[in-house]
């Protein structure tokens, strides 16, 4: 689409002048992707005109070209094709240009145009809403670079697996949609890898219902693992908690992170908790605490200690959950501590 021959390492003065006219910080471009400035052919004015036609002001155009300088190496025809393509899922050009400003690399990757188009149409047929597809286009663009047959194959494997694990036909579409919207990167796996991971769980005595439960809890991230990494993580947890296979299975169902995180991460988090004086028995009781980084755990313990709450003798439930969950728990403990022993407005029972 453009020539990659360079003038013996010399910058193209015409390109530099055109970028200066658009108030683009050429020093920034030079620092990020100098090779763009060495190309014989560039379409600075043409690409700028298309972006402005789409609704970008001068500042936005400069920002886009600073962040993604290779945009000027695409031909106007390529960019117009990409624009038509994104119109299939964007509400209007105002929304489109906003996305281009935030994710210019996704928009200006025109190499896989036919695959992108075929995949957009496939996702629409599958029933995915356009706002989900635009989120995929910007945050997981690689899934559109696959040939559509590859994505169809993965979806079909997931559908077959769901039904073979006891899922119902009626719920299958909802399950697939939810899984994809939580983790579109599932589509970067092969159908063989998906099959192997499910078989690994079944060989480790997880029932079909439990495997489905894990798939939903892990939001499909299980497909980014391998039987070897899962085996290592499970072996580590079994030794750390000194538990039987059955007990380990229950711990994994309670906290799928034991399956998902690698041994070094689990080891670091476990050591961090032990250093704070927390016992293995407490962690075993509330394994979900291993989903938190050591820094988050330390911060939460510090906040609770300031209220006089002793984490060593209490439950780890108060440490758990998202930032919002923790703030709610913290607020409850705080108000309990601040509450007066007697109610000053309650009538006193005084005998005559």
pTM (whole model) above 0.85: no
Q: Is the pLDDT of residue 96 over 90?
A: yes
Q: Using the structure block, give the residue that is written with the tokens 């099959």.
A: 195
Is the Cβ–Cβ distance between 219 and 183 less than 8 Å?
Answer: yes
Handedness of CA 236, 239, 241, 247 (dihedral sign): positive
Q: Is the pLDDT of residue 54 over 90?
A: yes
User: Stretch 118-146: mean pLDDT, rounded?
Assistant: 94
1-10, 68-77, 144-153, 278-287: lowest mean pLDDT where?
1-10
Could you give the count of Cα atoms lying within 13 Å of 17 in the half-sphere of its Cβ? 3
Domain extents in the chain? 11-110
C-alpha 251 chain-centroid distance: 25
Going by pLDDT thresholds of 50, 70 and 90, the confidence category of residue 37 is: very high
Q: What share of the chain is helix, strand, coil (3-state, %, to 5)?
A: 70, 0, 30
The predicted-structure confidence for 148-163, as pLDDT tens digits, reads as follows: 999 999 999 999 999 9
Nearest CA-CA partner of 79 in 91, 90, 70: 70
Q: Is the pLDDT of residue 4 over 70?
A: no
Is the Cβ–Cβ distance between 257 and 293 less than 8 Å?
Answer: no
């Amino acid at each position: 689409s453009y020539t990659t021959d360079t003038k013996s390492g010399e910058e193209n003065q015409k390109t530099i002048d055109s970028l200066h006219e658009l108030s683009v910080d050429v020093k920034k471009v030079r620092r990020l992707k100098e090779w763009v400035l060495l190309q014989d052919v560039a379409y600075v004015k043409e690409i700028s005109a298309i972006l402005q036609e789409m609704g970008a002001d001068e500042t936005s155009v400069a920002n886009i070209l600073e962040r993604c300088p290779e945009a000027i190496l695409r031909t106007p025809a390529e960019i117009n094709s990409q624009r038509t393509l994104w119109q299939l899922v964007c509400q209007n050009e105002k929304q489109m240009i906003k996305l281009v400003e935030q994710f210019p690399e996704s928009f200006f990757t025109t190499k896989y145009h036919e695959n992108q188009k075929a995949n957009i149409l496939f996702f629409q047929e599958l029933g995915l809403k356009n706002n989900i597809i635009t989120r995929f286009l910007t945050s997981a663009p690689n899934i559109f670079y696959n040939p559509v047959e590859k994505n169809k194959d993965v979806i079909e494997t997931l559908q077959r697996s769901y039904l073979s694990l006891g899922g119902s036909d009626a719920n299958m579409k909802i399950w697939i949609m939810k899984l994809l919207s939580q983790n579109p990167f599932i589509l970067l796996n092969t159908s063989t890898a998906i099959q192997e991971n499910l078989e690994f769980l079944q060989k480790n005595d997880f029932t079909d219902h439990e495997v489905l439960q894990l798939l939903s809890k892990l939001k499909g991230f299980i497909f980014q693992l391998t039987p070897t990494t899962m085996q290592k993580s499970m072996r580590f947890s079994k030794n750390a908690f000194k538990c039987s296979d059955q007990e380990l299975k229950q711990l994994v169902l309670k906290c799928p992170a034991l399956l998902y995180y690698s041994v070094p991460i689990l080891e670091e988090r476990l050591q961090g908790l032990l250093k704070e004086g927390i016992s293995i028995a407490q962690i075993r009781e509330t394994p979900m605490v291993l989903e938190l980084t050591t820094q988050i755990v330390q911060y939460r313990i510090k906040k609770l200690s300031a209220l006089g709450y002793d984490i060593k003798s209490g439950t780890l439930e108060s440490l758990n959950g998202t930032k919002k969950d923790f703030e709610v728990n913290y607020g409850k403990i705080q108000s309990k501590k601040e509450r007066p022993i007697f109610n000053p407005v309650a009538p006193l029972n005084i005998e005559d």
